[in-house]
Chains A and B, each alone.
Chain A
Amino acid sequence: MIEVNDMFYAKSSDAAIADAGEYGGAVTSILKFLLKEGIVDAVLAVEEGADLYDAVPILIEDPDKVVKSAGSIHFGTLNLAKVVEKYLDGAQDMKIAVTVKPCDAMTMVELIKRERVNPDNVIMIGLNCGGTMPPVKSREMMEKFYEFDPDSVVKEEIAKGKLIVETADGTEKEIPIDDLEDEGFGRRTNCRRCEINIPTMADLACGNWGVIGPLAGKATFIEVCSPKGAEVLEKAKEAGALDLEEPIEKGITIRKNIDNAMVKLADKWQDADWEDVKGREIFSALTEYLPDFSRCIKCYGCREACPICYCDDCCLEAHNGPDWLSKGEIPPSPMFHLERMIHMVESCTNCGQCEEVCPSEIPLAKIWHEVNAKVKDNFGYVKGTGENKPPMGFFPMDKMPL
């Protein structure tokens, strides 16, 4: 029997999928299996939109269409937990398998704790993540640093501290990620600070790290993270959808080492971003950002993008009570952001959606990441894991006192 904490090298037993998916197509096969067996009603994954740089969520109900989502898109900076909450009714009435990066997975956990997503109806297939890159900026990077036509790029990966890019004609070029990021390219700034690379809060954590030996590049390393994950993998194996092998011991160590290296890199960026401000209290932090908040044009983009901002009746535009904020005022009072902070920051997973959509270039993710770190320091609450509820005055929405 497969159990929690078990680890495997996995590949699809379907040759077509093994070919289309990355690293043996294990993830694609699991998703297809879940649909085909009726274990889930739909799969939520990501497909290529206009091109490799355009990640689009896709809800798949037909098992034969799962292959459309095969292959990874490192320019995909979405948060699929938000999609589940906002557009799929929090999986209240349908069973969904979702592919999740660590920030999606952590967000899903927070939304489950807040009773916005039904945990019984969601299977999280976690994907290791060393960070994602913003599409438009990355195209510029391809031209500027790699001297590639961005349309010719077919693959990129981060390995050994380098971003390796490959074009359609097989040309490969690698540049240290530090060099790119010092110039303002590479991964999103929130990703640089992120120390969670393996989504162990999901049901399964999948990736290529640690696959060595004869299966190198041809299989996926899977760690079983929950009883649900164990059950899914067991069934998939029994049904012959997957070929599983014991991982090579050294591979497990290598995976751990890669994770550690990424965590170290995140520490480096946290030091860089917060060097002068370590240990300062929240008010000093917020005061520093007042000039940034003064650029706000009240587009509500951060609220719309934030997975934790789900209220139907939002106090930022209260119309049945006191006006917490003056209507139509540009820039709005900093209260706009502080109210949002109070409501979401304990559950903030540093997913970066807010900052990415901000037309005024306010470093929102950086601000909330710092404040969330203080929640951890003060309350011992670690976002996105475990079963403890967020610590500060938490009410599930349907129990909100009038």
Chain B
Amino acid sequence: MEIKYVPTICPYCGVGCGMNLVVKDDQVVGVEPWKRHPVNEGKLCPKGNFCYEIIHRDDRLTTPLIKENGQFREATWDEAYDLIVSKFGEFDPNEIGFFCCARSPNENIYVNQKFARVVIGTHNVDHCARLCHGPTVAGLAASFGSGAMTNSYESFEHADLIFCIGSNSLEAHPLVGRRLLRAKYGNGAYLIVADPRYTPTAKHADQYVPFKTGTDVALMNAMMNVIISEGLEDKEFIEKRTKNYEELKEMVAKYTPEMAEEITEVPADTIRDMARKYAKADKAAIVYSLGITEHSHGVDNVQQTANLAMLTGNIGRLGTGVNPLRGQNNVQGACDMGALPTDYPGYRKVMDEEVTEDISCTWGCSDLGCEPGLKIPEMIEAAYKGDLKMLYITGEDPVISDPDVNHVIKALENLDFFVVQDIFMTDTAEYADVVLPAACWAEQEGTFTNGERRVQLIRKAVDAPGDSKVDWEIFCDLAKRMGADPEQFTYESAQDIFEEVRTVTPQYAGMNRERLEKPEALHWPCPSEDHPGTSMMHVEQFSHPDGLGIFAALEEKGPMETPDDEYPLILTTTRILFHYHAAMTRRAETLDREVPTGYMEINTEDAAELGIINDEIVKVKSRRGEIEIPARVTTDIMKGIVNIPMHFRECSANVLTNAAAIDPRSGMPEYKACAVAVSKMEGGK
């Protein structure tokens, strides 16, 4: 008998918890705590504890599938490759698009985007950050010069005050939630939670501030109004480290707490109180997540958090900072690896001719072009219109996770050719022409980069099932069949790929294998092998060329789609503790048993007006579509707002959401606000 503990990283959220997979005679039979791991010290959430349950499932994809006459048939890799290669040849490069997989290791993503750019010749390469923290990447880059979390998770425990807005950390990022609990209960930090829902996180707040979804800009403008008018701003910090302050000051002048009360439904005195507390705390940290980003003004929201932090000098010290909690386990890495239509690895810009020339040279190709590619919503739209002919999706499931699912399905059906590479037959894969079986995280080596920019090794526990392959191997196979320079697509191992990543990604340059073997690993930027890594950014100066942070003066715009007589309620979409999207957690037996299907939260008063009782199946309708779903009648949500978790295809929140309302600065659709009508089912009593 052989038993081994394989230390690796959880495959779900961006917190990046360490865990041991227990392997007994070539089967993963359990998860055991990795108490030595600095992020979580052996503690896990339910998703982590039961992540092993999906590895050996019978419904894993084990062989390529080709659709013929509407039915999938098993195929050999040769058949599948030949078909895909012939299709690649039929279309112009810009008629082809790629969604990369933010759940898979950096090495896969790197090769995927390199394949798209070098072999196909398109920058139409994107990933789900577009739909979670795209506004963070854009917004914090504009404010600070770098679009990532400024501090580490551990830093929260040093805060005197934590302002948590649009983040239900205890459910969505539980092991960060733990840091908040430790800060509050262990160290006496004051916790403010602003959210339209009285979430499990909000229930621990010293001050819970319910506010109307989508009015974040007004709320924070009013806070800054109070801070400036009461002289609580950090004048020295503003003077020495920032620019554009006067514009901000002028803008927020009109956002009195009373004016903001009208917009946000937060009492003016509450705004004053929270503003004073935030400004007066010696070390105040901002924590946010998709409640900030998933709006048609997501970048504005993000920049408001940066404004608040700069205004009060809460940057570059332990216990402070602007801390977006990243979504997927490797969504930070997917951004770092250049799975973005505008950026090469390391955020080097496609539009920059020098950069493009340099990259072309490194990758041995001649014509990469400086025109950025299409973002995910643009690719879906182009497919819908017939401009995008072929789509290659790795590990994404837009039929669950993208807005306006009916529209997405029409777009996918309109493609000439559609490839999905995944570990299960997802709702999206059903629409594919070819499905390729991929190895899951437990079946490969590589690195995940967590939300605090920590680049961590994952380790192979078992072989991938059947004929399934690691993503990078598939792209290398295809590249060679496409006639690409084999030298550019021949790698011995994931480590071999990572060595190349280090040469083109300056933030990763100093990360040799030996250093990453330590459980602490390294936070980027880590430009050289003698550099200790950077757990806290912007200590002396910001990342802009002049070292200054830039204030942004922003007007409240509010949601694009607002309630009216026909659709009188605002829908917000969320995630729950027991699921991470759908394809994996819904197949984990324990998690599925805990929460087998979706529900809609509705305020008791709204429910009473509609005559709806708890657990009653109701109809929810938006301008895009309608669903049937059990109601959960609760006082834990504001009147006028309903909430649907996004994981469940059979009562899919994203059938309702709006793909047309898009943040012009990031391409983020308005997931957190769309107008809906709720009604009883016909014949319902």
Query: A-side interface residues toward B, CB under 8 Å?
Result: 42, 49-51, 53-59, 61, 75, 77, 83, 86-88, 94, 134-137, 151, 294-295, 297-301, 304-305, 317, 319, 327-328, 330-331, 356-361
Contacts and interface: CB of A to CB of B under 8 A. Distances in A.
Choose among A56, A58, A319 the residue with the greatest number of B CB atoms under 10 Å from its CB: A56
Given A134-B35, A300-B590, A327-B593, A361 B178 contact: yes
A51 B3 CA distance: 20
A77 B43 CA distance: 13
Contact of A135 (B7, B36, B517): B36
B45 interface: yes
Interface stretch (B181-189, B353-361, B404-412, B537-545): B181-189
B38 A317 contact: no
Nearest to B578: A328
Choose among B7, B33, B203 the residue with the greatest number of A CB atoms under 10 Å from its CB: B33
Contacts of B517: 50
Nearest to B3: A59
Contacts of B2: 59
Contacts of B7: 49-50, 54
Choose among B7, B49, B177, B204 the residue with the greatest number of A CB atoms under 10 Å from its CB: B49
Contacts of A319: 593
26 contacts: A53-B36, A55-B35, A56-B5, A57-B3, A75-B36, A87-B24, A88-B1, A136-B41, A297-B46, A297-B174, A297-B177, A301-B33, A317-B594, A327-B595, A328-B577, A328-B578, A328-B595, A330-B200, A356-B35, A356-B42, A359-B40, A359-B174, A359-B175, A360-B181, A361-B182, A361-B186
Given A301-B44, A317-B594, A359-B45, A295 B181 contact: yes
Given A49-B5, A87-B3, A328-B578, A54 B36 contact: yes
B204 to A, nearest CB: 7
Contacts of A77: 35
A134 B174 contact: no
A303 to B, nearest CB: 9
The main secondary structure of chain A at its interface with chain B is: loop
Interface of B: 1-3, 5, 7, 20, 22, 24, 29-31, 33-38, 40-46, 48-50, 170-171, 174-175, 177-178, 181-182, 185-186, 200, 203-204, 517-519, 576-578, 590, 593-596
Given A94-B1, A361-B182, A136 B37 contact: yes
B595 A359 contact: no
Nearest to B182: A361
B181 A361 contact: yes
Given A50-B7, A50-B518, A135-B35, A331 B49 contact: no
A87 B30 contact: yes
B652 to A, nearest CB: 18
A51 to B, nearest CB: 8
A250 B22 CA distance: 46
A86 B30 contact: yes
Nearest to A86: B30
Contacts of A56: 5, 20
A136 B41 CA distance: 6
Contact of B577 (A59, A294, A298, A361): A298
A53 B182 CA distance: 23
B38 A136 contact: yes
B1 A59 contact: yes
A297 B578 CA distance: 10
A134 B22 CA distance: 21
